[in-house]
């Protein structure tokens, strides 16, 4: 019996009594109300006794007789029980007899014939060799890269198209995406930027204090924030918020065949779904980054005040270290991050398989790929900066 | 339990969303073991009524008694007790996409019974066999057709052998042969195991084949416009709406 069973009433619990008759046939008399909630104990018990009996040499040319005349009711699970016992009996070469069963249950007893179908032979999956596994993984990686390149090509073409056909861009979707990715992100970007500003300055000040160079922390932090930290943390936040959101949104549309409907209607899903979102990413990323830069530098300013650096010294030091080129470099990088993050979200959304789980997988892949792409772009940018001095 | 208790009693039930009332002051009963079909045109609130019957939505007013117990006011363990006395098949199947068919069926057994894994699997295979899906037990829901998903959903609804089964459009989208097979499965279960069925359906052929009793809902009347045996309604009803429905007459011809 199950304690969690809400329908359990003790007075009608099923009972099965195992007894050996003279010719060493076995008799099981089943009684009570047999249902799925209360059957477990009886089922296990009788099967164990049957197995012992069969192992002791019973079974061959002997019969297991089920007396069901005292059963008050049966449900589907009872038939599974009977079938289980019957199958073991037949396998051992014995016979199985049911007597006293209410005639209304007769058709159900034969509903599942032949019962051997219910006991499939477990098929073990052939194990792949190491070489084959590596091959498959490499192939998947190549396929993914090909998909990415194809998508990038389509997207570039459609972005050019959107400049040439500015009126045909779906500006409504663009505004929605920009509000969701931009305006709604202001609080979290502000909070994280503020904390990063504080932490960066504090950590730098601890080290610099040893060399009596606390006054350089301000310019250093400001430069680091404008060129690197601002764009990077904003992009990572956008990847977590909007890239995942785009992937889930487009992924759900893919699962519901909405993307197929666009294609069969002669519309390009990239033009229709991806372009407005990527344009939104291009718009909001530099703005959010600028906002993050300002909040972060202000936080750094207040932190340095605690180390006895007045605002004006911080300000002058910052002006000497950071020029317009640094800010532009950061913002251009941020714009590229915006393209990469929103495009990866859309791509993973469009690659969604079927079912609810697939949408979750797409959202995860969107965030992971976005962050990988952010780091790649960042690295490329660092290389270009090093070579050109920009 | 009292043998004469109805499977379901609906008392002054008003169905709708927020301030939108779809159906008003419904009263009907479903007796134990019968196959009860809810009919009506699209958008008249059939599925909403069904969701009120099995307690997924709270009705605007009125009561639903499942085997004499009021589901609209029940809470906690009392509510759970009522919830396990019936099974539901949703219109789209609503199978769990991350599990194969066998695991979909065994899920509720794992929660409510002490059966071993092997016993649960055997029981689930029986259920899948009943709906003709035994060869597909290890398939994922996304790998089978819509009609098969529905049949798998029926198997899942039957997992704990509930006394009442609610089926939302079971034969829609099935081919005629599968649909007829399903009808005969429903008849078997009702006759042999005493299942009560409450079915929302449009399929006239299937309704004539299985229904003991029908109610017909109407959007304009916001209520029941006909009830009884479907063949009798087809042949004798004077109501033009009922006549039109059962004889598949186009709306143009009536207007």
Query: What is the side-by-side order of every strand in the sheet holding A63-74?
Result: A15-20, A26-34, A63-74, A95-99
CB within 8 Å: B119 and A43: yes
Average pLDDT on A22-28 reads 73
User: Band of the pLDDT at A58, cuts 50, 70, 90?
Assistant: low
Query: In terms of CA atoms, which chain A residue is nearest residue B160?
Result: A36
Crossing angle of the two packed helices A324-350 and A244-255, in degrees rounded to 10: 20
Asked if B8 and B185 count as a contact pair (C-beta separation under 8 A), the reply is no
> Could you tell me which residues are beta bridge partners of residue B168?
B200
**Phi, psi of A28, deg, nearest 5:** -120, 120
The answer to whether residue B110 neighbours chain A at the CB level (below 8 Å) is no
Residues 6+ positions from A256 with CB-CB distance below 8 Å: none
Q: Where are the alpha helices (DSSP H) in B137-229?
A: 146-157, 176-192, 204-210
Q: Which of A91, A104, A118 to mutate to test the interface with B (most CBs of B within 10 A)?
A: A118
Q: For the segment A117-169, what is each residue's pLDDT rounded down to a tens digit? A: 788 887 788 888 999 999 999 999 999 999 999 999 999 999 999 999 989 88
The answer to whether residue B77 neighbours chain A at the CB level (below 8 Å) is yes
pLDDT of the residue at B1: 44
CB within 8 Å: A7 and B113: no
pLDDT of the residue at A145: 93
CA distance A319 to A329: 16
Continuous segment of H or E residues that includes residue B164:
strand B164-168
CB within 8 Å: B114 and A105: no
User: A357-386 burial by CB neighbour count: b if 16+ within 10 A, else e?
Assistant: ebbbbbbebbbebbbebbeebbeebeeeee
Query: What is the side-by-side order of every strand in the sheet holding B86-89?
Result: B86-89, B164-168, B196-200, B35-40, B213-218, B223-228
CA distance B228 to A38: 38
Judged by average pLDDT, the poorest of A68-72, A102-106, A258-262 is: A102-106
Name the superfamily (CATH) of residues A10-118. STAS domain (3.30.750.24)
pLDDT of the residue at B4: 60
Q: Give CB contacts under 8 A, 24+ apart, made by B88-92.
A: B88/B54, B88/B157, B88/B165, B88/B166, B88/B168, B89/B150, B89/B153, B89/B154, B89/B156, B89/B157, B89/B165, B89/B166, B89/B167, B89/B168, B89/B170, B90/B153, B90/B168, B91/B47, B91/B168, B91/B169, B91/B172, B92/B146, B92/B149
Average pLDDT on A264-292 reads 93
CB within 8 Å: B130 and A111: yes
> At residue A340, does pLDDT exceed 90?
yes
> At residue A59, does pLDDT exceed 60?
no
Q: Which residues of A touch B98 (CB under 8 A)?
A: 355-357
Average pLDDT on A107-126 reads 79
CA distance A300 to B243: 80
Residues 6+ positions from B115 with CB-CB distance below 8 Å: A36, A39, A40, A43, A77, B109, B123
pLDDT above 90 as % of chain B: 4
Q: For the segment A218-252, what is each residue's pLDDT rounded down to a tens digit? A: 899 999 999 999 999 999 999 999 999 999 999 99
Average pLDDT on A166-183 reads 92
> At residue A9, does pLDDT exceed 60?
no
- So where are chain A's domains? 10-118, 150-388
CB within 8 Å: B114 and A1: yes
Asked if A14 and B87 count as a contact pair (C-beta separation under 8 A), the reply is no
Best-predicted range by mean pLDDT among A24-38, A356-370, B53-67, B184-198? A356-370
CA distance A378 to A363: 22
Q: Which residue has the tokens 């930290």?
A: A229
Q: Least CB-CB distance to A76: which of B81, B126, B134? A: B126
How many Å is the Cα radius of gyration of chain A?
35
The answer to whether residue B27 neighbours chain A at the CB level (below 8 Å) is no
User: Band of the pLDDT at A4, cuts 50, 70, 90?
Assistant: very low
Q: Is residue B222 left, alpha or beta, with left meaning phi > 0 and alpha meaning psi from -120 to 50? A: left
pLDDT of the residue at B253: 62
Find residues 49-68 of chain B whose CB sits inside 8 Å of chain A.
none
Q: For the segment A352-373, what is each residue's pLDDT rounded down to a tens digit? A: 987 778 899 999 999 999 999 9
Query: In terms of CA atoms, which chain B residue is nearest residue A109?
Result: B192
Q: Which residues of B touch A81 (CB under 8 A)?
A: 119
Distances (CA, A) of A43 to A28, A56, A278: 12, 20, 61
Average pLDDT on A267-276 reads 91
The answer to whether residue B109 neighbours chain A at the CB level (below 8 Å) is yes
- So where are chain B's domains? 1-85+212-255
pLDDT above 90 as % of chain A: 54
pTM, 2 dp: 0.73
Asked if A57 and A36 count as a contact pair (C-beta separation under 8 A), the reply is no
Distance between A78 CA and the closest CA of chain B, angstroms? 9
pLDDT of the residue at A338: 95
CATH among 3.40.640.10, 3.40.50.300, 3.40.50.1220, 3.20.20.70 for B1-85+212-255: 3.40.50.300
């Amino acid at each position: 019996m199950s304690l969690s069973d809400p329908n359990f009433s003790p007075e009608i619990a099923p009972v099965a009594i195992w007894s050996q008759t003279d010719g060493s046939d076995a008799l099981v008399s089943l009684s009570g109300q047999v249902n799925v909630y209360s059957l477990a104990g009886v089922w296990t018990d009788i099967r164990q006794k049957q197995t012992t009996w069969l192992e002791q040499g019973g079974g061959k040319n002997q019969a297991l007789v089920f007396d069901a005349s005292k059963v008050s009711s049966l449900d589907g699970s009872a038939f599974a029980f009977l079938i289980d016992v019957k199958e073991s009996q037949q396998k051992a070469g014995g016979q199985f007899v049911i007597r006293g069963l209410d005639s209304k249950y007769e058709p159900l007893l034969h509903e599942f014939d032949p019962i051997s179908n219910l006991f499939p032979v477990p098929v073990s999956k052939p194990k792949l060799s190491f070489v084959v596994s590596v091959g498959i993984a490499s192939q998947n990686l190549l396929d993914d890269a090909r998909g990415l390149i194809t998508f990038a090509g389509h997207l570039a073409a459609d972005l050019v198209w959107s400049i040439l056909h500015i009126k045909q861009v779906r500006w409504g979707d663009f505004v929605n995406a920009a509000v969701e990715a931009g305006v709604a992100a202001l609080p979290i970007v502000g909070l994280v930027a503020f904390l990063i500003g504080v932490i960066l300055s504090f950590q730098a000040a601890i080290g610099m204090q040893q060399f009596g160079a606390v006054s350089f922390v301000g310019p250093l932090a400001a430069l680091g924030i404008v060129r690197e930290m601002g764009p990077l943390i904003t992009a990572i936040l956008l990847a977590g918020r909007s890239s995942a959101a785009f992937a889930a949104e487009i992924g759900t549309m893919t699962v519901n065949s909405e993307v197929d409907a666009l294609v069969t209607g002669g519309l390009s899903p990239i033009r229709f779904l991806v372009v407005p979102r990527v344009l939104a990413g291009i718009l909001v990323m530099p703005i959010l980054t600028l906002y993050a830069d300002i909040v972060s530098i202000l936080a750094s300013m207040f932190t340095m005040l605690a180390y006895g650096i007045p605002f004006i010294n911080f300000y002058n030091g910052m002006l000497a270290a950071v020029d317009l080129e640094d800010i532009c470099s950061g913002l251009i990088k941020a714009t590229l991050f915006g393209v990469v993050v929103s495009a990866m979200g859309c791509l993973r959304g469009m690659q969604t398989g079927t079912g609810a789980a697939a949408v979750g997988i797409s959202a995860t892949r969107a965030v992971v790929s976005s962050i990988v792409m952010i780091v790649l772009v960042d690295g490329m940018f660092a290389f270009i900066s090093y070579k050109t001095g920009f | 339990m009292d043998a004469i208790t109805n499977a379901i009693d609906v008392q002054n039930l008003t169905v709708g969303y927020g301030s939108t009332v779809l159906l008003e002051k419904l009263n009907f009963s479903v007796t134990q073991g019968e196959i009860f079909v809810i009919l009506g045109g699209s958008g008249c609130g059939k599925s909403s009524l069904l969701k009120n019957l099995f307690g997924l939505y709270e009705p605007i007013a009125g009561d639903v008694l499942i085997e004499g117990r009021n589901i609209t006011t029940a809470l906690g363990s009392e509510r759970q007790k009522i919830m396990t006395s019936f099974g539901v098949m949703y219109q789209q199947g609503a199978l769990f996409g991350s599990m194969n068919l066998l695991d979909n069926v065994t899920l509720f057994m794992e929660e409510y019974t002490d059966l071993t894994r092997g016993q649960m699997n055997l029981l689930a295979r029986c259920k899948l066999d009943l709906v003709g899906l035994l060869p597909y037990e290890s398939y994922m829901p996304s790998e089978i057709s819509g009609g098969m998903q529905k049949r798998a959903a029926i198997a899942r609804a039957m997992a704990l052998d509930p006394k009442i089964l609610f089926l939302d459009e079971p034969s829609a989208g099935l081919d005629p042969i599968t649909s007829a097979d399903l009808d005969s499965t429903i008849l078997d279960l009702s006759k042999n195991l005493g299942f009560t069925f409450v079915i929302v359906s449009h399929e006239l052929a299937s309704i004539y084949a299985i229904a003991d009793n029908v109610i017909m809902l109407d959007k304009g009347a916001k209520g029941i416009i006909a009830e009884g045996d479907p063949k009798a309604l087809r042949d004798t009803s004077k109501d033009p709406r009922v006549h039109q429905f059962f004889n598949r007459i186009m709306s143009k011809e009536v207007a």
